[in-house]
Structure 1
Amino acid sequence: MMSKNIIITGTSRGIGFELVQLLANQGHNVLALSRNSNPVSQLNLNNVSSFTFDLCNENDYVKVEDFIKTEWKHVDILINNAGAIVNKPFAETTFQEFQKVYQTNVFGVAELTKTVLPFMKNDGHVVTISSMGGIQGSVKFPGLSAYSSSKGAVITLVELLAEEYKETGPQFNVLALGAVQTEMLEEAFPGYKPPTTAKGMADYIQDFALTGNKYYNGKVLQVSNSTP
């Protein structure tokens, strides 16, 4: 397989951290973006670049654009993996908390995608990680009003982008994940131990990111073997 230029967000831990290693070890060039760049930097992988990036900071998008122009010229795959969560009763969730979740899970996905799109070819692939909680009709859990509703919003956003760019590409798809053994899941469901590990899910995502756009565009794939 030819080496690809791949951007991944939310790489300091969990699925994103595992994705960086999997894709880099396959020979792909990876730009790892996270508010904490240290975990990836400490891997010392030659084909991985990493710098501090916050989806809520407008100035950070300029850094990404400059990197692409200077180092890569084009991007093959964007994996919108970063996410924010608040787990508390709706009546206690503040305006600022709701806003922060949406800034990361929806507005940040939109802005980074907009930043990267001019550098993507017609066969590029934008993969956005959502949640089963964002699927209409799925089981819902108290305390996740901001998180799950934002994940529903980003699903609709991706469907719209696939329609808007269907003649020119790239392709856009969503993976709505079920329970995965990550720090974020522990925040939402303390003490719950799901059967799927972060590395196991990263294996699936990296394969889908590399090949899924041959078969899917504008689709939401539910990747779950458990409840929650």
Structure 2
Amino acid sequence: MKHVIITGTSRGIGFELAKIFANNGHKVLAISRNTTPLSKINHENITTISVDVSKTSDLKKISEFVEINWKKVDILINNAGKLINKPFTELTTDDFLEVYKVNVFGVAELTKNMIPFLQKGSHVVTISSMGGIQGSMKFPGLAAYSSAKGAVITLSELLAEEYKEQQIAFNVLAIGAVQTEMLAEAFPDYKAPLSATEMAEYMYDFALNGNKFYNGKVLQVSSTTP
């Protein structure tokens, strides 16, 4: 049984991932602003906490829970994401900050807060995007999103080096298009080749076993060019 923290669990991949871990006997701390969807399931292995990952003060709730109830974290999955689709000339500094607060700063702050609870064999998995991969196909309108997803790739590579002596693994899954609510909101006419459940099943296996084979690596998880 693993103790697993997953962010962005109100819908999409995070929602499905929390259910898969819980159904396989693992303890899940599900983090999202809206906890209602998972609370309705009322699964004995899922604890929900309402947290806005863009707010440092909110993230303290997670540390307090782990300190009191778990004492350790085996897997941290930084899945929460924010996407703004606007032409570059219309993007404001506030737009960039809004995206970076969730996709970069929130990831860094939560990971930093969890360091005392991570131990030999722990695995931190950050969900990036093919849009953050150098040389991949890029899409107009995603300057803030894709650049943020590139930033967390470099962050994870650095943390893998910084914590290699403690044998804590940091890896990134740069995923392609998945049919989630967030994708549908940004690109209403696009149909992705994978469902949220299919991607969640892959992430589940990688989070449990990927650290045996990888550390400081970025895996491109996409069956299409985008």
Match of 1:64 among 56, 62, 65: 62
Are 2:95 and 1:78 equivalent residues in the alignment?
A: no
TM-score for the superposition, normalised by structure 1: 0.98
Where 2:156 maps in the other structure, the secondary structure is: helix
- Residues 166-205 of structure 1 mapped to structure 2, 5 A cutoff: 166-205=164-203
For structure 2, which runs of at least 5 residues remain unmatched after alignment?
none
Which letter maps to 1:173? N
Which letter maps to 1:98? F
Which letter maps to 1:116? M
Instruction: Deviation per CA, 1:5-52: give whole Å up to 9, x if none.
Output: 000000000000000100000000000000111111111000110010
Partner of 2:214: 216
**1:227 Cα deviation after fit:** 3.5
Where 1:121 maps in the other structure, the secondary structure is: coil
Where 2:42 maps in the other structure, the secondary structure is: coil
Which letter maps to 1:7? I
Distance 1:138 1:25 in 2: 35
Instruction: Deviation per CA, 1:170-199: give whole Å up to 9, x if none.
Output: 100000000100011113322111110000
Instruction: Deviation per CA, 1:100-135: give whole Å up to 9, x if none.
Output: 100100000000000111101111000000000000
Match of 1:151 among 149, 158, 165: 149
**1:169 Cα deviation after fit:** 2.4
Match of 1:102 among 87, 100, 103: 100
Which letter maps to 2:127? I
Which letter maps to 1:227? T
TM-score for the superposition, normalised by structure 2: 0.98
Identity %: 64
Partner of 1:141: 139
Q: Which moved more, 1:188-197 or 1:122-131?
A: 188-197
Distance 1:212 1:190 in 2: 33
**1:58 Cα deviation after fit:** 1.4
The 8 Å contact of residues 194 and 226 in structure 1, kept in 2 or not, is answered as no
**1:154 Cα deviation after fit:** 0.6
Partner of 1:33: 31
Distance 1:77 1:117 in 2: 11
Are 2:48 and 1:42 equivalent residues in the alignment?
A: no
Distance 2:39 2:188 in 1: 29
Which letter maps to 1:71? N
For structure 1, which runs of at least 5 residues remain unmatched after alignment?
none
Distance 2:220 2:186 in 1: 19
Instruction: Deviation per CA, 1:74-97: give whole Å up to 9, x if none.
Output: 110000000000001011011111
- Residues 84-123 of structure 1 mapped to structure 2, 5 A cutoff: 84-123=82-121
Which letter maps to 2:176? G
Q: CA RMSD in A?
A: 0.7
Distance 1:60 1:216 in 2: 31
The 8 Å contact of residues 78 and 125 in structure 1, kept in 2 or not, is answered as yes
The 8 Å contact of residues 87 and 187 in structure 1, kept in 2 or not, is answered as no
Distance 1:8 1:68 in 2: 13
Where 1:33 maps in the other structure, the secondary structure is: strand
